[in-house]
Chain A
Amino acid sequence: MPPQSKLSAVLRKRRDTIMAQWTQEQQREIGAARARLSQEEITRQSSQFLDLLVQAAQRTGVEDIAVGEWKEVRDFLDGLSRERVLSGFASDETATFILSLKRPIFDALREDSNGDADKLVADVWTATVLLDKLGLYTIKSFQRTREEVISRQQQELLELSTPVVKLWDGILALPMIGTLDSARTQVVMESLLQKIVETESQIAIVDITGVPTVDTLVAQHLLKTVTALRLMGAECIISGVRPQIAQTIVHLGVDLQGVTTKANLADALALALRRTGIEFKKQ
């Protein structure tokens, strides 16, 4: 019998023993993290995985886990990794899911070997190679998910630090605080443009009072934002332009392409209101 079908045969035949040993090892290995994973969960996940593993092994053998027949196994491991990332597990704790399956399988293979040492070694080798591949896949998937989570959190942090505020019907304001780099500009542009569409605003006031330095790069980023706004049919007013910044802009030869600039937010708002045809009267 070829090693792969031997493996799936053994997995089926000695399923209960393997399950018992495996779930016990997982409990022991994860130790302090037990509070995060209940016995039921471990059993459920292990059982599901064993079923998928047997299916895949039977259908196509255990040489290559990248083929289509192993997709369900891979998807399951992706799902498991994702759960573990979100629950705060470490990558090695997650790989334990696969690696702790080795001992139970080796024991099962030995029980089944009828004293044939050469065959046992071959079977154990096949099993080891397979489990190592699956373990590595799990870790890779874990890392990928973790990086996605981190990057999403960074994005959210960036978005939070540049909130888009509706000042009046049709007028949005974006107070920029801190350095304006390209990553920040991207986030700013996306949220600002999205808000323009949602609120159907005509004017966006970008206030740079809180931007410490304006050099060529910052000026370019501002220009990009202004241009994108214009392409969508909205107008941009830049406020908080200190005299120094005005000098820098002229010295750098930056062409603001007809964008109106104002020294402070109040002036910018007054202008925006005029442009949208709103007039305030004192009682």
Chain B
Amino acid sequence: MLLAPRGELPLANAHDIVLCRQHVRRLAQEINFSLVDQTKFVTAASELARNAVIYGGGGRMLWELVESGSRRGVRLDFVDEGPGIANLELAMTDGWTSGTGLGMGLTGAKRLVNEFEIESTLGSGTRVSITRWR
């Protein structure tokens, strides 16, 4: 294994989104995801990283190589201390229909990964966690 099993990357600006994508790509390759699965996972990470930077006022991505039985995978947590999402349910359906902004990123990302969890409190921030298994 060439990479450390876990770590953290800052998400402060647009350039960080690019670095984040590159790192997630490396992680996906480390676990030997198929090309399509790599693409899906990196794209999901890009969406969530962008959300953290643009809507969350900046944040960070925590990553971890995970195992469940004999399956291996990658887990990413996107954390920001931004304004939070007022109505999660609405955000996740609204964005989908309007095709722009926050909601699109969330519902889209959810379809690209195996596990998706989101916690958000108004005024304290958001945490989105995604996992993809090989």
Contact = CB atoms under 8 A, between A and B. Distances in A.
Nearest to A143: B70
Interface residues of B, number: 7
Contact of A147 (B1, B36, B70): B70
Contacts of A71: 1
Contact of B70 (A144, A186, A190): A144
Interface in B1-59: 1, 36
**Interface of B, helix, strand, loop or mixed by DSSP:** loop
Contacts of B36: 186, 190
B74 to A, nearest CB: 15
Contacts of B134: 148
A147 B1 CA distance: 20
A71 B36 CA distance: 29
Interface string B53-94: 000000000000000011110000000000000000000000
A186 B34 CA distance: 12
A7 to B, nearest CB: 25
A140 interface: yes
A144 B31 CA distance: 12
Contacts of A186: 36
A160 to B, nearest CB: 18
Interface in A135-186: 140, 143-144, 147-148, 186
B134 to A, nearest CB: 8
B34 to A, nearest CB: 8
A105 B36 CA distance: 47
A71 B69 CA distance: 20
A161 to B, nearest CB: 19
A271 B70 CA distance: 50
Contacts of B70: 140, 143-144, 147
A228 to B, nearest CB: 11
12 contacts: A71-B1, A140-B70, A143-B69, A143-B70, A144-B70, A144-B71, A144-B72, A147-B70, A147-B71, A148-B134, A186-B36, A190-B36
Given A144-B71, A148-B134, 10 more contacts: A71-B1, A140-B70, A143-B69, A143-B70, A144-B70, A144-B72, A147-B70, A147-B71, A186-B36, A190-B36
